Amino acid sequence: MREHFIDKYLRYRRRYVDYVVREAPHRAVLAVDAEIARLTALACFAALCALLMWILTAATFARPAPGWSAFAVLLAVGATTVAIAAVAGIVDGLRDLRRVRSLVDG
């Protein structure tokens, strides 16, 4: 699950960037930028979903519906977790940008 879903979609894909550094070094910085852009879009979408889910959660607590409240909390926590994972991937990509620039320039 981790390798096929979490590492592929929610994290910074360093193996992909390392492949581009080896095969097409002139496009290495572009590969990092593309990863950062992909994760930024994911983080924005997940944050929007999380906001809507937390509003839904608050609404379910306003009306007594215990089953729906638990389901809404689960959805809100899931969307929030995806947003946090995407932001962590963005941070990893920004850190790796220095390494890639030094490999390409040096």
**pLDDT > 80? residue 3:** no
Instruction: Tell me the mean pLDDT in the region 51-75.
Output: 90
Where along the chain do its domains lie? Answer: 2-105
**pLDDT > 70? residue 106:** no
Closest CA to 35 of 20, 45, 48, 50: 20
Give the pLDDT band of residue 1 (cuts 50, 70, 90).
low
Alpha-carbon distance of 23 to 39, in angstroms, equals 23
pLDDT in tens, 70-105: 999 999 999 999 999 999 999 999 999 998 998 888
Neighbour tally for 9: CB within 10 Å: 15
Say what the pLDDT of residue 80 is.
97
pTM of the predicted structure, to 2 decimals: 0.84
Tokens, residue 58: 């608050």
